[in-house]
């Protein structure tokens, strides 16, 4: 299981998600960025930043 915590990208945000699929985590995270943080354009660099912050759940603190 993999996990992503938005607060690692957007300080102060408590939202997180988990899935076996990295693609699913990225999709959910992009939806979250649009709906919660008002991002209208998601650049490739943002996708790469999300991917870089995905952790295996046993590694997550």
- With vertex at residue 16, the alpha carbon angle to CA 40 and CA 43, rounded to the nearest 5 degrees, is 30
The tens-digit pLDDT sequence of the chain (61 residues) is 999 999 999 999 999 999 999 999 999 999 999 999 999 999 999 999 999 999 998 765 5
**Amino acid 25: pLDDT:** 98
Element of type H or E holding 2: strand 2-5
**Amino acid 60: pLDDT:** 52
Q: Are strands 55-56 and 16-19 parallel, antiparallel or unpaired?
A: unpaired
Question: What pTM, to 2 d.p., does this model score?
Answer: 0.89
**Amino acid 9: pLDDT:** 95
């Amino acid at each position: 299981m993999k996990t992503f915590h938005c607060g690692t990208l957007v300080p102060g945000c408590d939202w997180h998600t988990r899935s076996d699929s990295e693609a699913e985590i990225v999709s959910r995270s992009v939806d979250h960025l649009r709906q919660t943080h008002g991002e209208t354009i998601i650049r490739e660099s943002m996708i790469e930043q999300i991917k870089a912050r995905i952790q295996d759940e046993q590694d997550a603190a």
